[in-house]
Amino acid sequence: MSYTIDFDQIDKIVTVTYSKTVSLADRIMAVNDVCSSCADITPLKILVDVRNLVMHLKTREQKDFAVFLSSNPLLKRARIAVLHEATFNPNVIIDTIAFNNGYKLAQFNRKNDAVVWLNEIG
């Protein structure tokens, strides 16, 4: 599997960790897995770890995935922190388009900062 999903019982944060090359189908499956298993969690806080992701999706696929994310009703109410290396975010196209479409998302390169932001109210 090219991704894992973990739930932190203390902070109530769902972490999706991508590793290596992840297909568009796998990314959609990860979103569907989160949505089906976390629909009752309010507020939904998601940490997406792309530090080990190798982006191979074509630009069109990245744009389509961003629209898919930002049109999901459950994810529109969620806070999403994207964790990437300080020098490179392989998810930048997806993040930018999703954010511009109203996705509540912020970028981080330190996990502790992402957790603090996810736990903020507002």
Residue 1's pLDDT band (cuts 50, 70, 90): confident
For residue 106, pLDDT over 60 is answered with yes
b/e burial code for range 64-103 (CB count within 10 A of at least 16 → b): bbbebbbebeebeebbbbbbbeeeebbbebbbbbbbeeeb
pLDDT of residue 121: 67
Token pair in block for residue 63: 């744009």
User: The whole model's pTM is what?
Assistant: 0.94
